[in-house]
Structure 1
Amino acid sequence: MLSTEQRRFFEQAVTQYQNDLAADTGAQEYLASRGLGPEAAGQFRLGVVTSPLAGHERYAGRLAIPYVTPAGPVNIRFRCAEAHACEGHAKYLSLPDAASNLYNVLDLKKVSPFICVTEGEIDAMTLSLAGLPAVGIPGVSTWQQHYARCLEDFDVIYAFGDGDDAGGKLNSFLAREARARPISMPKGMDCNDIYREHGAAGLRALID
């Protein structure tokens, strides 16, 4: 449970990094290349760390992806904002001692017979923008038993693993742990790839 002071700090950090993004055309262009324009960036409160708050200096230059709940942001992950394979450094960095959280839990409140689960925040954003309610986990190793209870009110749970071996393992894991229906993704592609190539209709076709 976060303290009031911690919640205030997260809100301050998210607001600062949103403001930083508004002045960073390079980060805006990167997000646009992933199909995430200004409206989407605002919806998910995305930012970039140009003016790091105390303790966030190591995340300078990275995208800030907040985990937002109805009570406000409760966590932030930081992603490399360069269009390369991230060799020599981690693509994602988490805060030290950060709790494991489901990403995009606001979609759990949407009226829908189904929910989608992805590995990664950007794929969860992408599905949500396509009209498919979605939550994300950073990886199989971060799964918590109570996540299944968060999903149990939905008639159907779709597992959107990437089109690779890791994605297949995620789908199998979610089928076992959360009665999810695995979605067969084209080889080498993820939700964001399909969205950029075929639009929202391309993603919706996967569950039709």
Structure 2
Amino acid sequence: MDLLAQVRDISIIQVATDLGYQLQFNRKILCPFHDENTASLVLYPQTNTFHCFGCGKHGDVVSFYADISKQEYRTAMHELAANYLPGYQIGGYKQKGLQKVAPERVRAKKIATPNAGTYVYRSYHSDIYEEFQRICDRQPAHQIGLDAIDYLQSRGFTEKTLRDFRIFVVTDYETVHAHLRNTFSLLDLQESGLYNERGNLIFYRHPIIIPYYRNGRIVFLQARVIGAPADTISRYQFLSGVPVELFNQDILPKLGPRNRVYVTEGAFDCMTLTQLGLHAVSLGSVTMFKREWAKLFRRVEVFFYFDNDDAGKKAAIEFSGTFTQHGISIHTQPRTVPDGYKDVNDYFTNRPKPDFL
């Protein structure tokens, strides 16, 4: 990824708050580009862009910072990189704190969010995901829930494993949909990735929900159909437009030096190895790997355990190079699923006899 692309991925919410702007409900701030008493500039964290409905000013995070700090676009790009990209340093640009610009603009009163707290983008999305989980867990027993449990147990998971990973099920779509729409604004639900542009909860055909945690908070969601899907439906559904997280990443800070960690493709593969007493995390898919994740593994020894297909083998080679560049110990012979099995979960659930890792 080139420098501009990396900088454009820097959270515009973070930049705005670091500059001293108080976010109001629905991510509005007083526009820095024209005089106003009612906030009309909206920040869009999914695309890291902004638009002012008062003066029409719009652009990406770089132009937002460039115009506020009265710098050229290229200069602003380097300055944002120096502040937000770890280890970045070039020419006369060096790490420094962003200066608060136009403090007279930072006079808007706080407006309560649905949770009556200060708005913070990432934690507020976690509030939405956790409320989604809470309302699903409170639903009465239903055949969909029973079918989901039967299916998960057929994949080899015990009740304890499902409880430990806090898997939950959408058993009454309409009730859950109505509750979320009454609790949060549609814009917030869409920004969280739970709702599509038509205003509908995206997990309509995928009732099994797999939560991804970071520091004990839900930061991402993945959903699955019950059993084998129809030809026109995918097995899995991820949040719409929200960057994927590393599944089960909270185990990494707890491990001692040289502990072995298996990196799998799917969340179910990770859960299977964990149930066997091993340490494992999941990428969600080999196509979703982020290079910055490598630094999370500096204290452990990494074993890739991907599917036995071309994509899995290619990913093991590619990722080994990335991890090695970060000084991380990689086992030279990644494990692969034996022929005749789809993935790690399929193998350990249906293998004819015990196998030792």
TM-score, normalised with respect to structure 1: 0.85
Counterpart CA distance in 2 for 1:105 and 1:18 is 23
Structure 1 residues 3-22: aligned runs within 5 Å: 3-20=122-139
SS in 2 for 1:58: coil
- Cα deviation for residue 21 of structure 1 reads 9.0
Partners of 1:20 and 1:47 within 8 A in 2: no
Change (3 A) 1:3 1:157: closer
1:187 and 2:339 correspond: yes
Partners of 2:337 and 2:347 within 8 A in 1: no
Aligned counterpart, 1:47: 168
Counterpart CA distance in 2 for 1:147 and 1:125 is 19
1:132 and 2:278 correspond: yes
- Cα deviation for residue 20 of structure 1 reads 4.7
Change (3 A) 1:173 1:87: farther
Q: Percent identity?
A: 25
Counterpart CA distance in 2 for 1:94 and 1:121 is 12
Residue of 201, 205, 209 corresponding to 1:64: 209
Partners of 2:286 and 2:312 within 8 A in 1: no
Counterpart CA distance in 2 for 1:22 and 1:31 is 16
Partners of 1:162 and 1:188 within 8 A in 2: no
Partners of 2:216 and 2:250 within 8 A in 1: no
Amino acid of the structure 1 residue aligned with 2:348: Y
Q: Which moved more, 1:119-128 or 1:68-77?
A: 68-77
Change (3 A) 1:49 1:200: farther
Deviations 1:68-87 (A, max 9, x none): 122311111111112x2542
Name the structure, 1 or 2, with higher relative contact order (CA <8 Å, separation 6+). 1
Partners of 1:117 and 1:134 within 8 A in 2: yes
Residues paired across the two proteins, number: 202
Counterpart CA distance in 1 for 2:254 and 2:268 is 19
Counterpart CA distance in 1 for 2:168 and 2:219 is 15
Unmatched segments (≥5 aa) in structure 1: none
Q: Which has the larger radius of gyration?
A: 2
Amino acid of the structure 2 residue aligned with 1:11: E
The structure with more helix, counted as a fraction of residues: 1
Unmatched segments (≥5 aa) in structure 2: 1-10, 12-120, 181-194, 325-329
Change (3 A) 1:72 1:176: same
Counterpart CA distance in 2 for 1:105 and 1:199 is 31
Aligned counterpart, 1:175: 320
1:123 and 2:242 correspond: no
Residue of 225, 241, 247 corresponding to 1:103: 247
